[in-house]
Amino acid sequence: MLTMKDIVREGHPALREVAVEVSMPPTDEEKKTLQEMLEFLQNSQDEKVCAKYALRPGVGLAAPQLGIKKRMIAVHFEDDKGKLYSYGLFNPKIVSHSVEQAYLREGEGCLSVDRAVEGFVPRHARITLKAIDLDGNPVKLRLRDYAAIVLQHEVDHLNGIMFYDHINKENPYKIPEDAKPIH
């Protein structure tokens, strides 16, 4: 199983590179890696497993965070309505997004960042994302608010972008234009 030791931290070059598309169909190894990424998130949210292996409770993970420069992400979380988003996704692509923005009141963190970084991270409030799921089926997800933010954070990792790249340098707590706070 994957643990925090498998996650690369700031300074690792994979976090700043553009990851390459996975050619379809994925290899067994690619599928296994993506499955393990999803399992890491599930384990990290299980109180017992989390404590035993000292995991940080994660809601999303991108392959570059394992030092793997491939376009694969996993997410596992519930939205405020209790709807579960649990996916391993190949080649996710944001095909459209709202003009309206959203940001987490608490700011963001990252499994690859071992320090607190203060400030609001402006994101699109709504996105439509296309990808191939773990079963090889094309999926089209319409996401809003928290779900949209998590998926944008993970897709950013595939493009070498860290959450703090989006924070206003002069005033980290400047409210982004046309943005609503989440949570």
What is the binding site for Zn ion (CB under 5 A)? 110
Residue 45 or 168 having the CB closest to ligand UDB = 45
CB of 29 to Zn ion, least distance (A): 23
Cβ density class 127-148: b for 16+ within 10 Å, e for less? bebebbebeeeeeebebbbbbb
Q: What are phi and psi of 13, to 5 degrees?
A: -60, -30
Contact map string, positions 99 to 138, toward ligand UDB, x by CB under 6 A: ---------xxxx---------------------------
Nearest to 57 by CA among 124, 150, 148, 173: 150
Per rule CB under 6 A, count of chain residues that contact ligand UDB: 18
The amino acid present at 4, given as its one-letter code, is M
Nearest to 132 by CA among 49, 40, 23, 59: 23
Q: What are phi and psi of 33, to 5 degrees?
A: -60, -45
Residue 150 is a binding residue for ligand UDB (CB under 6 A): yes
Among residues 47, 106, 154, 170, which one is catalytic?
154
Residue 26 or 58 having the CB closest to Zn ion = 58
Contact map string, positions 48 to 87, toward ligand UDB, x by CB under 6 A: --------xxxxxxx--x----------------------
Kindly give the pairing relationship between strand 101-104 and strand 60-62. unpaired
Catalytic residue list contains 21: no
The amino acid present at 119, given as its one-letter code, is G
Catalytic sites, residue numbers? 154
Return residues touching ligand UDB (CB under 6 A).
45, 56-62, 65, 108-111, 149-150, 153-154, 157
